[in-house]
Amino acid sequence: MKLARYLLNQAGLADEKDGIVLQFTNNRTTHLSEMTKAETTALLTSLCDTRIGQAHQSQTRKRMINKILSMAHEMGWEKPDGKVDMKRLNAWCEKYSKQHTPLDKISDQELPSVVTVFEKVYLSFLKGI
């Protein structure tokens, strides 16, 4: 039961525990301690799958952002200290993304299209060299 409580907390679902337990016990109980082994296993599996899915989504997002940062770096969008000029990059994102937001605020759904457009800018830059 401790693992289930931990995973519920990690998923931000602690306040919804009673409803979730009701769901997995077919409205029989709201208490984790009264769940059968099969019900508990199903709950833990669901929580772990959710956590793994979130981790994968986070990792994919990081890769896409790193790709944009790498291309910006190669195009010379840098500050004197050699780091990417985030002000310039965010201004570009605000102008060309559908949501008109800085890079770190772009949704997971829109990020792939922003990467695609930025790749075109990068390829255009390479052709100009």
Q: Give the separation between CA 129 and CA 124, rounded to whole angstroms.
A: 9
pLDDT digits (tens, 9 = 90+) for 1-18: 788 888 888 877 888 899
Give the mean pLDDT of 84-94: 95
Model pTM? Answer: 0.62
Q: What is the pLDDT, as a whole number, of residue 56?
A: 65
pLDDT digits (tens, 9 = 90+) for 35-77: 999 999 988 888 887 776 677 678 888 999 999 999 999 999 9
| Cβ–Cβ under 8 Å, residues 48 and 56 | no
Closest CA to 57 of 3, 116, 111: 111
Sign of CA dihedral 103, 107, 112, 117: negative
Give the mean pLDDT of 10-28: 87
Give the number of other Cβ atoms within 10 Å of residue 47's Cβ.
19
